Amino acid sequence: MSKSVDTVILVAAGLLCAVPAMADTFGLGRPATQAEIVAWDIDVRPDGEGLPEGQGTAVEGEEIYAEQCAACHGDFGEGIDRWPVLVGGVDTLENDRPVKTIGSYWPYASTIWDYVHRAMPFGEAQSLEDDEVYAITAYLLYMNDIIEDDEAVLSHETFGDIVMPNADGFIPDNRATVDEMVGGAPCMKDCTAGPVSVTMRARVLDVTPEDEN
């Protein structure tokens, strides 16, 4: 069948049956106003799209951080108790116990701005002014030795200059080609060299919570 015949049949079918999916649109919803979009459209991308005008320095950020962040993340970003660690871990990604932080792991600085602005401080999200977010971002980069000058101005204009140390640390999902877990009839009989025995028990660690319920 030629393509044009296909199209004719499809169009005819669309005219004949009242399947709603065939309609162009349903005429539902209403246009969003510009102010509504501005209120909700807060996301920032690595290319800087979404960054509002504004600026701040690490020195300014240090003060805000001490007041609003250090109680959980620690004065030096080391993380109090089990709150997330924000600083350090450089060159540990190949280690037995890697420490993944902004400095050691995060590929884009825009993610700091976006995340702090949308979700921090924990329990009082979206309470920071744009300039405060620039200042805190500068301070987090400074603590992670990514910017050296604590007086340097971080703004929507200078943001693109920042290169994160682990920017090249990521590869696409290549499970299908690399992991070799597709196909082949799995073994059904005598699949191990000899009888199988226990090599490790969960009870040795015994971290299962006690049941209080």
Binding residues for ligand HEC, per CB under 6 A? 68-69, 71-73, 83-84, 86, 112, 115-116, 120-123, 136
For residues 138, 144, 146 and 152, what is the CA-based torsion angle, rounded to 10 degrees? 30
- Among 2, 4, 177, 192, the residue binding other proteins under the rule CB under 8 A is 192
Question: How many angstroms separate the CA atoms of 58 and 77, rounded?
Answer: 14
Interface segment toward other proteins; rule CB under 8 A; list 20-28, 129-137, 138-146, 153-161:
20-28
Question: How many angstroms separate the CA atoms of 137 and 9, rounded?
Answer: 58
CA–centroid distance for 83 within its chain: 17
Taking the complex as a whole, the smallest distance from the CB of residue 42 to ligand HEC amounts, in Å, to 15
148 near other proteins, judged by CB under 8 A: no
Contact criterion met (CB below 8 Å) for 147 and 141 = yes
Please, is 89 exposed, middle or buried when counting C-beta atoms within 10 Å of its C-beta (0-12, 13-18, 19+)? buried
136 interface partner picked from other proteins, ligand HEC, none, CB below 5 to 8 A per type: ligand HEC
Please, is 130 exposed, middle or buried when counting C-beta atoms within 10 Å of its C-beta (0-12, 13-18, 19+)? middle
Taking the complex as a whole, the smallest distance from the CB of residue 159 to other proteins amounts, in Å, to 14
Question: How many angstroms separate the CA atoms of 176 and 181, rounded?
Answer: 8
Identify whether 121 is preceded by a cis peptide bond (ω within 30 of 0).
yes
Q: For residues 36 and 67, which CB has a smaller minimum distance to ligand HEC in the complex?
A: 67
Query: How many alpha carbons lie under 13 Å from residue 119 in its C-beta half-sphere?
Result: 6
35 near other proteins, judged by CB under 8 A: no
- Among 115, 156, 158, 165, the residue binding other proteins under the rule CB under 8 A is 115
Taking the complex as a whole, the smallest distance from the CB of residue 110 to ligand HEC amounts, in Å, to 12
Taking the complex as a whole, the smallest distance from the CB of residue 151 to ligand HEC amounts, in Å, to 20
98 near other proteins, judged by CB under 8 A: yes
Q: For residues 148 and 206, which CB has a smaller minimum distance to other proteins in the complex?
A: 206
207 interface partner picked from other proteins, ligand HEC, none, CB below 5 to 8 A per type: other proteins
Taking the complex as a whole, the smallest distance from the CB of residue 9 to ligand HEC amounts, in Å, to 51
Number of residues that bind other proteins (CB under 8 A): 81
Question: How many angstroms separate the CA atoms of 152 and 58, rounded?
Answer: 7
Instruction: Give residue for tokens 């997330």.
Output: 84
